[in-house]
Amino acid sequence: MKAMMSYLDTGSGFPVLLGHSYLFDKSMWAPQIEALAKQFRVIAPDLWGHGDSPNLPASTTSLADLAADHLALMDALQIEEFAVVGLSVGGMWGAELAAAAPQRVKALMLFDTFIGDETCEARERYFGMLNAIETTGFIPPAMLDYIIGQFYSQHATPADVQRLSTYLSSLTAEQLRGSIVPLGKQIFGRPDRLSVLNTIRCPAHVATGELDRPRPPVEGRLMAEKLSCDFTQIPNAAHISSRENPVLVLRLIEDFLSRHL
């Protein structure tokens, strides 16, 4: 039997499942969770090999598998209907989940994400980094600086930047080789799944930080067009918009969910 991801279960009301970014954990949503829990039951899991969750199971080999793992968590919690709010890879598996379980996912918000495939250049760059990490068993300082620069802009708080740096530096060779690297290869080696958006019928909203480097606003606009939903460009924010512009991200979530649930 597959292990279960670690998760936070707080608040009451209609359930909302939060999906965090690769190389983060459920605390990425800390600026929003307390306020959301006043209106909703918030479920915030840690991705496999992240936070307090166990290593990536051998049976989880794709974003569709990740979606199924999160659906299994909701089954274990006996939650039938829920909304999904996902950022980065949280949005990737979130879109897969909304398509796979349309009778259960009642609303979908996608932040700083893209379910099309990577360009050949980007995939080559990411896989080169992942292979180097797998070989050495750690993240070299220069690569660490590059990774942080992909997630955060000058608008990030020094505490958030330091927290990410400390976390990435603390990852053991076992964590990196057992979960971080293989999960990264699933994410960055994903096939083009934009056609999935054409099958999603629940209310949706897409938002992207204006300074997001790995997932620029043009990608978010494309997904919103395919979903026939609104798109918001988030000012003063890069990839982790929930931390760089937390007030606006919270307002977007609250407004969207209050209108559609």
Show the beta-strand stretches assigned E in 63-162. 82-87, 105-111
Determine the 3-state secondary structure of 208 from DSSP.
Answer: strand
pLDDT tens digits for range 194-228: 999 999 999 999 999 999 999 999 999 999 999 99
- The two structure tokens encoding residue 208: 């992207």
What are phi and psi for residue 212, nearest 5 degrees? -65, 120
Q: Rounded CA gap, 63 and 6, in Å? A: 18
Q: Rounded CA gap, 176 and 172, in Å? A: 6
Q: Where are the alpha helices (DSSP H) in 89-202?
A: 89-100, 120-136, 141-151, 158-170, 173-175, 181-188
Based on the structure, what is the number of domains in the chain? 1
231 in any annotated domain: yes
210 in any annotated domain: yes
Show the beta-strand stretches assigned E in the chain. 7-10, 14-19, 40-45, 82-87, 105-111, 204-209, 230-234
146 in any annotated domain: no
Closest listed residue to residue 29, CA positions, set 49, 5, 10: 10
178 in any annotated domain: no
Q: Which pLDDT belongs to residue 77?
A: 97
235 in any annotated domain: yes
156 in any annotated domain: no
Low-confidence ranges of the chain (pLDDT < 50): none
Q: Strand pairing partners for 139?
A: none
Domain that holds residue 211: 7-117+191-260
Q: Rounded CA gap, 158 and 147, in Å? A: 15
Q: Which pLDDT belongs to residue 1?
A: 67
Domain of 32, CATH number, reads 3.40.50.1820
Closest listed residue to residue 70, CA positions, set 19, 13, 112: 19
248 in any annotated domain: yes
For residue 32, the tally of other CB atoms under 10 A from its CB is 24
Q: Which pLDDT belongs to residue 21?
A: 98
Mode of pairing for the β-strands spanning 82-87 and 230-234: unpaired
Residue 38 CA neighbour count, 13 Å, CB half? 5
Q: Rounded CA gap, 120 and 103, in Å? A: 36
148 in any annotated domain: no
Tell me the whole-structure pTM to 2 decimals: 0.98
